[in-house]
């Protein structure tokens, strides 16, 4: 006997009955309780205060900078025109473990959206069972013809579904979708932070190469000065004190050069970590810093609201908190459930799949909490307070973004000015040293003046390289403050993270 048509007819009849009840329930859906979310409106200043001023058309005065409409796009590090840096950034994007961790956190957040969406659909379970029993001999006898042994075969299905009458499930899905968007913005923020760290370490390392090169030249110059003073001392023109001073300068320069190699090694190891490589097997060739400071398009302050992933994360956190209020508000309203059981039951396995073995039950139910001692009110108040806290965090994030951008704009402008002034100091120190050297070799002055001039020149040259590195890293920090090449159009929508 073909048993499948029997079970098929049974399931069909029950499903038709279920669909009738579902259709009635769907008419109730569409009401979503809780506050409607409205994205915050933030007033931004019309222009950045610390942007470099521009010269007037007649060339006589300086006026506040006109906001630039251009913004950073794509791979922002390509502004520096450094092929080596470009290759390292590409390696970071594919191998950095912090980025990989944040990406998996985002994927986990998306999976939670799928879990929440599962509540839209009925739950169907099956629990087949077999029971064999024996009735007490005191209850049966051969005279009555009752068999003391019995079998029970069951193939039951259970269907349960809660229609989303008040939008509790929809708000839950929205909550998890917003949380996934927060995770996506966090991923973008981590990626930008790691990219910026790599660029800064790269310029710091090249700065160390520049300083080591400076000290290499200085050591050679000091060695020549030492030989000169030794010759002059042996001929009686100079004293042993001059030789000691020359030796002191040389030894200090050698020790300082060695110390610079410590920082270089540490920056090299940090770059290896950022690019997902073992520090033991990674190295970078020595090359002094020669990169030009790029012109960075800054746009206007209001664009920060669309270009910074941390601001996007803070705004989506507010949306998530708002959805939570709706979830808890739905607890004030009754819940409905449509459930049923259907299946086959028989004492004989051969009769299990026959039409008389069928059974089913189907019906709706409702429940409402009449008294909870203020629990629901307390939870709603909690989520409302959390929303206000997230709103304050959002405003603080925006203000911090303005502050960081102004800080880096001021640093970029003033460091450029300071570097020009420092170069003038280096030129003056070089002239002082040249004159002192001439006066010493001609016997006009003692080596003490050369000793002082050497220390002053080296200090000014070292400061010049340090300021160069500082200006390069400050430009990276400015790009990071502006959000890199990211904008909110790259943030996945609620629909996409919900899998619709």
Domain regions of the chain by residue span: 33-122+166-333+375-497
Looking at the predicted structure, is the pLDDT value of residue 5 above 70? no
d(CA 463, CA 426): 9
Tokens of 74: 């794509």
Instruction: Output the pLDDT for position 329.
Output: 93
- The pLDDT of 58-66, averaged and rounded, is 50
Report pLDDT for 142. Answer: 52
> pLDDT > 70: what percent of the chain?
87
Residue 482 pLDDT > 80: yes
| pLDDT at 149 > cutoff 60 | yes
Query: pLDDT category, 3, cuts 50, 70, 90?
Result: very low
User: How many whole angstroms separate alpha carbon 106 and alpha carbon 346?
Assistant: 50
Average of per-residue pLDDT across 439-456: 89
Beta carbons of 327 and 34 less than 8 angstroms apart: yes
Burial 124-135 (b: 16+ CB within 10 A, else e): eeeeeeeeeeee
> For residues 406 and 48, is the Cβ–Cβ distance under 8 A?
yes
Predicted local distance difference test score (pLDDT) of residue 484? 94
Contact between 56 and 63 (Cβ < 8 Å): yes
Q: Are 372 and 35 in contact (CB under 8 A)?
A: no
| Three-state SS sequence of 403-447 | HHHHHHHHHHHHHHHHHHHHHHHHHHHHHHHHHHHHHHHCCCCCH
pLDDT digits (tens, 9 = 90+) for 246-274: 999 999 999 999 999 999 999 999 999 99
pLDDT at 191 over 50: yes
Range in 67-71, 126-130, 135-139, 200-204 the model is least confident about: 67-71
Output the six-digit token pair for 402.
Answer: 């303005």
Higher-pLDDT residue of 340, 318 = 318
Radius of gyration of the chain (CA): 39
CA–CA distance, 472 with 475 (Å, rounded to integer):
5
Which residue would you say has higher pLDDT here, 395 or 133? 395
- Are residues 68 and 296 in contact, defined by beta-carbon separation less than 8 angstroms? no
pLDDT band at 69 (very low <50, low <70, confident <90, very high): low
Q: Which CATH architecture has domain 33-122+166-333+375-497?
A: Up-down Bundle (1.20)
**pLDDT at 13 (0 to 100):** 54
Above 90 in pLDDT, residue 348? no
Reported as a single tens digit per residue, the pLDDT across 163-190 is 988 989 999 999 999 999 999 999 999 9
Number of Cβ within a 10 Å radius of residue 391: 17
Question: CA 471 to CA 453: how far, in whole Å?
Answer: 27
Q: What is the pLDDT of residues 7-23, one digit of tens each?
A: 455 445 544 555 554 54
User: Which residues sit opposite 126 in a β-bridge?
Assistant: 157
> How many angstroms separate the CA atoms of 445 and 246, rounded?
15
Q: What pLDDT score was predicted for residue 474?
A: 96
Query: What's the pLDDT band for 227 if we cut at 50, 70, 90?
Result: very high
CB–CB of 296/50 below 8 Å?
no
Would you state the pLDDT for residue 138? 64
List C-alpha distances in Å: 49 to 67, 301, 350, 408.
10, 10, 88, 11
pLDDT at residue 1 in the model: 42
Residue pointed to by tokens 């259709």 = 23
Alpha helices in 235-353 (DSSP H): 240-274, 304-307, 309-329
Q: Could you give the CA distance from residue 431 to residue 109 in angstroms, rounded to a whole number?
A: 64
Cα–Cα distance between 347 and 131 in angstroms, integer? 9
Q: Is the pLDDT of residue 434 over 90?
A: yes
Greatest Cα pair distance, the chain, in angstroms, is 143
Give the mean pLDDT of the chain. Answer: 87
Q: What is the DSSP string of 169-218?
A: HHHHHHHHHHHHHHHHHHHHHHHHHHHHHHHHHHHHHHHHHHHHHHHHHH
CA distance 212 to 255: 11
User: Which of these ranges, 67-76, 236-245, 398-407, has the smallest mean pLDDT?
Assistant: 67-76
Average pLDDT over residues 362-375: 89
Structure tokens at 467: 């300021």
Query: What's the whole-number mean pLDDT along residues 417-437?
Result: 96
- Confidence at 2, pLDDT banded by 50, 70, 90: very low
Phi first, then psi, for residue 426 (nearest 5°) are: -65, -45
305-320 pLDDT, tens digit per residue, is: 999 999 999 999 999 9
Across residues 345-371, what is the average pLDDT?
Answer: 82
CB neighbourhood size of 425 (10 A): 16
**280 CB burial (10 A radius; 0-12, 13-18, 19+):** exposed
Q: What percent of the chain has pLDDT over 90?
A: 62
Task: Write down the residue that tokens 């708000």 correspond to.
Answer: 171
Q: Please give the helix or strand (H or E) that residue 341 lies within, else none.
A: strand 335-346
Mean pLDDT for 400-428 is: 96
**Helix, strand, coil % in the chain, rounded to nearest 5:** 65, 10, 25
C-alpha span between 343 and 127 (Å, rounded): 10
Per-residue model confidence as pLDDT tens digits over 70-91 = 678 889 999 999 999 999 999 9
Give the range among 2-11, 368-377, 391-400 with minimum mean pLDDT. Answer: 2-11
Average pLDDT over residues 482-487: 93
């Amino acid at each position: 006997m073909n048993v499948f048509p029997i079970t098929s007819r049974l399931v069909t009849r029950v499903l038709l009955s279920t669909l009738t009840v579902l259709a009635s329930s769907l008419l109730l859906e569409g009401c979503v309780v809780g506050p409607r979310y409205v994205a915050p409106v933030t007033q931004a200043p019309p222009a950045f205060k610390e942007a470099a001023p521009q010269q007037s058309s007649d060339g006589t005065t300086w006026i506040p900078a006109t906001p630039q409409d251009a913004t950073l796009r794509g791979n922002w590090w390509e502004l520096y025109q450094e092929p080596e840096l470009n290759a390292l950034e590409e390696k970071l994007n594919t191998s950095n473990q912090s980025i990989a961790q944040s990406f998996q956190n985002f994927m986990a957040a998306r999976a939670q959206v799928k879990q929440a969406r599962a509540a839209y659909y009925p739950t169907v379970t099956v629990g087949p069972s077999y029971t064999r029993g024996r009735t007490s001999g005191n209850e049966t006898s051969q005279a009555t013809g009752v068999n003391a042994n019995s079998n029970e075969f069951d193939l039951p299905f259970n269907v349960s579904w809660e229609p989303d009458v008040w939008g509790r499930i929809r708000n839950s899905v929205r909550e998890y979708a917003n949380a996934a968007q927060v995770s996506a913005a966090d991923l973008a923020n981590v990626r930008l932070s790691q990219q910026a760290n790599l660029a800064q370490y790269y310029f710091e390392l090249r700065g160390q190469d520049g300083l080591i090169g400076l000290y290499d030249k200085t050591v050679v110059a000091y060695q020549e000065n030492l030989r000169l003073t030794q010759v002059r001392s042996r001929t009686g023109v100079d004293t042993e004190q001059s030789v000691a001073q020359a030796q002191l300068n040389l030894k200090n320069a050698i020790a300082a050069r060695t110390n610079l190699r410590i920082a270089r090694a540490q920056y090299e190891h940090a770059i290896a970590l950022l690019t997902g490589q073992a520090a033991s097997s990674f190295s970078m060739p020595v090359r002094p810093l020669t990169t030009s400071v790029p012109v960075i398009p800054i746009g206007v302050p209001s664009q920060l609201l669309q270009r910074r992933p941390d601001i996007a994360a803070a705004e989506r956190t507010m949306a998530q908190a708002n959805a939570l209020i709706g979830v808890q508000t739905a607890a004030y309203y009754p819940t409905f459930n449509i459930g049923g059981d259907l299946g086959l039951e028989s004492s004989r396995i051969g009769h299990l799949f026959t039409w008389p073995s069928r059974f089913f039950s189907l019906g709706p139910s409702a429940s409402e909490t009449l008294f909870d001692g203020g629990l629901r009110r307390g939870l709603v108040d909690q989520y409302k307070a959390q929303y206000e806290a997230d709103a304050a965090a959002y405003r603080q994030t925006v203000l911090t973004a303005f502050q960081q951008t102004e800080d880096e704009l001021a640093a970029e402008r003033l460091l450029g000015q300071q570097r020009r002034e420092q170069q003038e100091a280096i030129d003056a120190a070089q002239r002082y040293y040249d004159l002192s050297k001439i006066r010493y070799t001609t016997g006009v002055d003692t080596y003490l003046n050369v000793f002082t001039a050497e220390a002053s020149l080296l200090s000014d040259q070292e400061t010049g390289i340090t300021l160069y590195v500082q200006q390069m890293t400050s430009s990276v920090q400015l790009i990071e403050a502006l959000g890199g090449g990211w904008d909110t159009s790259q943030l996945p929508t609620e629909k996409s993270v919900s899998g619709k």
